[in-house]
Amino acid sequence: MFKNKLIRYSTVAMVLAILAYFFVENFTGRTSGDSMDELLATNPQAYVDQIMKKRAEKDELFRDGDDSPIADKAAFHGLHYFKVNPEYRVKANVVPYTGDDRTLKVRYTDGTEDNYERFGMANFTINGQPLKLMILKNEGSLSILFRDETSGKESYGGGRYLDYPLSNLQNNVLTIDFNEAYNPYCAYQESFACPVPPKENTLPVAIFAGEQYEEAMH
């Protein structure tokens, strides 16, 4: 089994590289989160177009990248996604975790474990329903590993991920964009070991946003 600690960082690096590209190309001089919020407020279709361009970039990386989890690249026809929905981009108030048990042993799909830090609880609302997710910190990156009512149906049963640099947290507020939720590498190749979302990160609603899972749709 390939330990996903390295593989997951490759995915994070891939996602952050895509974000950095669009930041430099379109929003130099402003934070990417503020810029996307401004774009969404002034031109919602342009926001959708930006998300679609990021998805196209990821397809290209999965098709041609050396660390791609796609075994049969010749047959790869692109990842599947829910339709971009701006309602799934939310502002979350983050309550810092103050308990003594800050270290959380996160189980991996191969049975191993890795230490993460309980960073804080993200509180937000979707479609009028209050929700919360535990934010974890690992190697300086903020991670949200979650399941929802689409898991094992329209999306990967093992859950999906979101990753943000610590600098995205401003005044205990973090913008969470579920349109960018992605599958771990083990969704595409079982030889990869991926972190399993903690129990408290199972949402009681369906998040119809982000990456889908082809096998779950058939």
Residue indicated by tokens 């342009």:
46
Calculate the CA dihedral of residues 108, 110, 114, 119 and round it to 10 degrees. Answer: 0
Distance (Å, whole) CA 209 – CA 215: 17
Tell me how crowded residue 207 is: count the other CB atoms within 10 A of its CB. Answer: 23
What's at 106, amino acid-wise?
Answer: V
Distance (Å, whole) CA 185 – CA 11: 8
What's at 145, amino acid-wise?
Answer: L
Q: Identify whether the C-beta of residue 148 lies closer than 8 Å to the C-beta of residue 205.
A: yes
The residue with greater pLDDT, 178 or 23, is 178
Its pTM stands at: 0.84
132-177 pLDDT, tens digit per residue, is: 999 999 888 999 999 999 999 999 999 999 999 999 999 999 999 9
Check residue 215 and give its pLDDT. Answer: 67
Distance (Å, whole) CA 17 – CA 9: 12
Q: What is the mean pLDDT of residues 96-106?
A: 95
Check residue 33 and give its pLDDT. Answer: 58
pLDDT higher than threshold 80 for residue 180: yes
Check residue 1 and give its pLDDT. Answer: 31
23-82 pLDDT, tens digit per residue, is: 334 433 344 557 888 888 888 999 999 999 999 999 999 999 988 999 999 999 999 999
Distance (Å, whole) CA 148 – CA 206: 5
pLDDT higher than threshold 50 for residue 87: yes
Cβ neighbours of residue 87 under 8 Å, at least 6 residues apart?
A: 126, 127
